[in-house]
Amino acid sequence: MLIDIVDLSFAYGHRIVLKNLSLSLSHGDFLIVRGKNGSGKSTLVKCLLGINPVKSGMIFFEHADIVGFRGWTKIGYVPQKSEDFNYEFPITVNEILTVSSRRSTKNSQKLKLLDKLGILPLLNENINNLSAGQQQRVFIVRAMLNEPSMLILDEPTASIDKDNVAYFQKAVNELHDDGVTVILISHDEAIEAYRYTHVLTLDSESDFTFRNRAQHAFWKEGAER
Amino acid sequence: MMLSFFTDLFTQEFLLRMLVAGILLGVLAPLIGSIVVIRRLSFIADTLGHFSLVGFSVSLFLASIGLTFFFEKPLYLGIIFSIVGGLLIELFRRYYKNYKEISMPIVMSIGTALSAIFLSLSNRTGSLYNYMFGSILTITNYYVVIIAITLGIVSLLFFFFGRQIVSVSFDESSAKYQGINVSLFQFAFIITLSVAVSVLLEAAGVLLVSSMMIIPVAAAMKVGWSYKSTQIIGIVFSELSVILGLWASYSFRIPSGAAIVSISILILIAVVVIKRILTRKRVKWSREDVSDNR
């Protein structure tokens, strides 16, 4: 198992957001986390990333407890709209990727990823001159640079225009085909373009359903009738 | 009189000393300043300057009660207090998690109040002027050595940890997943910044220390096309400001900090104006191209 979530609950003060959530993912799975705003999608991601302290329940990453976890480089993270990035100061795509690489990361790996995401010609461009969609792809390359076992994408298409969304979905599917485990958070209904293996739906009553692709398709068919 | 600065350089030892100190500070200020700008902490240098002043005031106070060691070397206490100020800022930032900027005015007012108390107790308020606006003309040899050591350490930090420094500065939230210890970086950065600010105080003065770190970088940001080029242009602008500022300070008998910062502001204005003109021309050319093609 790559990820094991056991009875995870989380509350902000008295407001319970996640209640007794349990699920397991294996290497190579592709999980889509769906739910409306405030349903706990970002809270769950923050628990997985060690930003929210897990007090009730447990999360294991490759059998290691997330409390006191040290192997964070095994996780590649693309934040929502990358709003935490300090824009405006000039820095090129190449410079961002160079400072984000570990010493063991090969240059060829960087170029291969840039090519896969279709932004190789932008290598020496200032990040501030790129569109939101291009910037998002740079951050995916950055997250993938150190060959993590898992990629977490938080609402990655929120700031991308329609034309780029299709390109983006294709790129994520290709990374998954290469064997990368993906967790993608989406408030969007249109998830069929992704080659996901599991869907986790969170609702505002801190309830959840965890289905594999076949179960999700069966449920969807029933719901549409 | 205006040229005597350059001829006097070869005859007056203090002038040469001042120039060497200025050139070293001219590299140190934008090197640290660029990280301060990227992390949006411009106000922090100001706060640390005010807290560093406590060290200088305490040195004067100690001298007035007979302890003269720190009077000759006030920088030591200046550095120590600046570091204390930096740690206080971090402490308050953790305490007020959603109002991080609140830590600055708190620490700054503590610094200002304590400085005023110790200065008046020491009966040496006259030296306040030099601390406020900079007095690099009176710089001593030991000071130049400390500046050189600080610059040496900062350069080594950039040489060995530049990758991590830049990565955390641009994106703190993702740095953890690149295997960077963000808390350790925060701590090391605040200590380095504290030391740099107190070292810069002699040249720039409390009120202008943050300007000396930030304005050349702010101008360079508008011309640079990459991180490296912006860093280099920032250092060039900073050196220009320092050398011309020292000349103006000596020639017109004005405080060094005020002179250096005024020149850097002139550079910033020039950059903004030239950039505007060039952008307008470019728009005009491209419009003409479009109409020609029609």
Per-residue pLDDT tens over the stretch B88-125: 988 888 888 777 778 889 999 999 999 989 988 888 77
Q: What are A187-204's pLDDT values in tens digits?
A: 776 788 888 999 998 887
Q: Strands A56-61, A30-34: parallel, antiparallel or unpaired by DSSP?
A: unpaired
- A205 pLDDT exceeds 80? no
Going edge to edge, which strands form the sheet with A15-25?
Answer: A15-25, A3-12, A56-61, A64-65
Q: What is the mean pLDDT of residues A51-70?
A: 88
Average pLDDT, chain A: 86
The ipTM is 0.85
- B2 pLDDT exceeds 70? no
Q: Does A84 touch chain B (CB under 8 A)?
A: yes
CA B142 – CA B123 distance, rounded (Å): 26
- Kindly list the residues from chain A whose CB atom is less than 8 angstroms away from the CB atom of residue B171: 82, 84-86
Q: What are B36-51's pLDDT values in tens digits?
A: 999 888 888 889 999 9
Q: What are B144-177's pLDDT values in tens digits?
A: 999 999 999 999 999 999 999 999 999 988 888 8
Question: B31 to chain A nearest CA, in Å?
Answer: 14
DSSP per position, B168-213: HHH-HHHHGGGT--HHHHHHHHHHHHHHHHHHHHHHH-TTTHHHHH
Q: How far from B278 is each of A140, B224, B275, B282, B284, CA to CA, in Å? A: 35, 15, 5, 6, 10
- A82 pLDDT exceeds 70? no
- B32 pLDDT exceeds 70? yes
Q: What is the pTM of this model?
A: 0.86
Phi/psi of residue A205, nearest 5 degrees: -90, 25
Question: A214 to chain B nearest CA, in Å?
Answer: 33
Q: What are A25-45's pLDDT values in tens digits?
A: 999 999 999 888 878 888 899
Q: Cβ distance B230 to B220 under 8 Å?
A: yes
A127 class by beta-carbon count within 10 Å (0-12 exposed, 13-18 middle, 19+ buried): buried
Q: Does B98 touch chain A (CB under 8 A)?
A: no
Q: Does A142 touch chain B (CB under 8 A)?
A: yes
Q: What are A97-151's pLDDT values in tens digits?
A: 999 888 777 888 889 889 888 889 999 999 999 988 888 889 989 998 888 889 9
CA B74 – CA B57 distance, rounded (Å): 8
Name the least confident of B9-18, B61-70, B273-282.
B61-70
